[in-house]
Amino acid sequence: MADSPSPWARVEEGARIQEGAPAIQRPSKEQIVGFPDEAATLIDESWSSQKALIESNEYDASWLNGQHLVIVGGTGRGLGGAVSICALHNLDRLGSLTVIGRDIKRSMEFEFGTALQARASEYADKFHWLNNGISVEGNEFDSIVEILKAKCAKDIIYVNGVAAASSGLMPGLPPVYVKDIDEDGTYYWQLTELPERSIEATRNFMGTLTIQFPDALEAAGISVEVSAYADWRGSLDRGSRDPASPTYGRWGSYSTSLYLPKDLIQDATRKAYAEGRKWIDIFFP
């Protein structure tokens, strides 16, 4: 295969190289202590920005009136988190708000969920935060259905902002290098191929489960008015997974696999349009 023109597909001569992929670092004690404040700041700053847009009539939140929202992947810095923040500050006009995450307890995202719950105390009967992740069967799914039925929820709005992926290279592609640093200075990870189980997990958690979820709700007696998929990373960036592109590998460890769930979501969206169902596939680069 010819050399890629991308700067992420080569390293300087003499650079230290390690095969593998960057691991998710465990937070330090100082970081753990700071997570609650970090989550609170994120919520406050995001709402400040959104509130200004609402007050200037650039952003319309009137659609929230009486609605029942289910936001999967609704904690943290992504689009799901932003929708959760807006909904939190409009609980008085909502029918109910259910935020679903799957975050480790020692994380900013978990503290984000904790903060949402604390701030929703005045409308505790309308707000639920679940941290068992998305599912379409079993006890976790039954809990979601029970919550919605208790609120007499119908024609719900389902927003999915799930982010879950594996760090590595899709099989058969040339190397991608990711810069890192240790006590000896900078070095590069030469990404290794993703095993099939990781590829399937990415498809499943970000793709298959997300598009099966509204169907599962309907089958359980919860009508779904709109399904919206909110994506802010490079899943539509074909150049990042094309070795002939000068942008090959620019999304780092996830460059070549981000599209896996997006293909499934886009296919489901096309089918939903053909059936007259309301599906929205949002993408921000």
Taking Cα atoms as reference points, which of 194, 163, 142, 202 lies closest to residue 75? 163
Taking Cα atoms as reference points, which of 78, 6, 5, 1 lies closest to residue 251? 6
Number of domains present in the structure of the chain? 2
Taking Cα atoms as reference points, which of 257, 244, 231 lies closest to residue 21? 257
The verdict on 64 and 188 lying in the same domain is no
For residue 240, is pLDDT > 80?
yes
Residue 1: pLDDT band (50, 70, 90) is very low
Q: Is residue 244 part of a domain?
A: no
The verdict on 4 and 93 lying in the same domain is no
Q: Is residue 241 part of a domain?
A: no
pLDDT digits (tens, 9 = 90+) for 36-66: 999 999 999 999 999 999 999 999 999 999 9
pTM: 0.90
Phi/psi for 6 (5° steps) reads -75, 140
Q: Is residue 84 part of a domain?
A: yes
Domain extent, residue 225, equals 34-165+203-233+257-283
Phi/psi for 60 (5° steps) reads -105, 120
Q: Is residue 248 part of a domain?
A: no
The CATH number assigned to the domain holding 107 equals 3.40.50
For residue 17, is pLDDT > 60?
yes
Using DSSP, state whether 71 is helix, strand or coil: strand
Taking Cα atoms as reference points, which of 116, 111, 112, 142 lies closest to residue 128? 116
Cα 268 to chain centroid distance, Å, stands at 18
pLDDT digits (tens, 9 = 90+) for 67-114: 999 999 999 998 899 999 999 999 999 999 999 999 999 999 999 999
Query: Which of these three, 176, 194, 212, is where a domain ends?
Result: 194
Q: Is residue 247 part of a domain?
A: no
- Edge to edge, the sheet with strand 185-191 lists 17-20, 185-191, 177-182
